[in-house]
């Protein structure tokens, strides 16, 4: 009876090829599931509402939207355009919002549009007033 001898390098190579095939498919499925799981539609919508209230815009087109319910304080940020026919290059404006909690009813703690921030502790009375106006409108909709 004749026995077949397998060369160790062939077995190792075949094992590595199989492992590579498995691991190359695995990160794709994990990376697609992970960001969506961390997102918070409630925080995102609340930040969109802050932007609409501040800008006095009935509609707002959003580009990239990210939320961070796991941070302290929780928040969201997004790119936006007030143009009805917004193209991808039009989403150059950015808003960053921070809230007291990640689930409704939530209250806005602070928000920044571009490099200008608005909050209860701002030194500039106009920025503090604009924050109070946005917070008052947002609190009415709770």
Residue 1 lies in a domain: no
Checking if the pLDDT of 126 tops 70, the result is yes
Domain co-membership, 73 together with 135: yes
pLDDT at 13: 43
Checking if the pLDDT of 25 tops 70, the result is no
Domain co-membership, 21 together with 89: no
- Can you give the residue range of the structural domain that contains 80? 41-140
Angle between helices 41-55 and 125-140 (to 10 degrees): 120
Domain co-membership, 18 together with 80: no
- Reference 73, options 119, 115, 116, 113; nearest CA is 119
Domain co-membership, 45 together with 27: no
Residue 2 lies in a domain: no
Domain co-membership, 47 together with 107: yes
Residue 127 lies in a domain: yes
Domain co-membership, 86 together with 133: yes
Residue 123 lies in a domain: yes
Domain co-membership, 134 together with 75: yes
pLDDT-based confidence at residue 38 (cuts at 50, 70, 90): low
Domain co-membership, 61 together with 111: yes
Q: What is the pLDDT of residues 78-110, one digit of tens each?
A: 999 998 888 888 899 999 999 999 999 999 999
Checking if the pLDDT of 30 tops 50, the result is no
Q: What is the pLDDT of residues 43-78, one digit of tens each?
A: 999 999 999 999 999 989 999 999 999 999 999 999
Q: How far apart are CA 88 and CA 80, in angstroms?
A: 10
Q: Burial-class residue 80 by CB neighbours within 10 Å (0-12, 13-18, 19+).
A: buried
Residue 124 lies in a domain: yes
Structure token pair of residue 4: 């077949």
């Amino acid at each position: 009876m004749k026995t077949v001898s397998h060369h160790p390098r062939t077995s190792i190579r075949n094992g590595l090829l199989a492992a590579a095939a498995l691991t190359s498919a695995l990160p794709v499925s994990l990376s697609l599931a992970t960001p969506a799981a961390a997102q918070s539609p409630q925080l995102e919508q609340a930040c969109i509402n802050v932007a609409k209230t501040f800008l006095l815009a009935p509609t707002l087109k959003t580009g990239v939207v990210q939320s961070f319910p796991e941070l302290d304080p929780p928040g969201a940020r997004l790119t936006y355009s007030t143009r009805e026919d917004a193209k991808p290059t039009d989403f150059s404006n950015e808003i960053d919002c921070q809230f007291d909690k990640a689930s409704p009813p939530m209250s806005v703690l602070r928000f920044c549009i571009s490099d200008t921030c608005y909050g209860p502790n701002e030194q500039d009375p106009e920025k503090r007033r604009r924050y109070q106006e946005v917070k008052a409108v947002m609190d009415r909709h709770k």
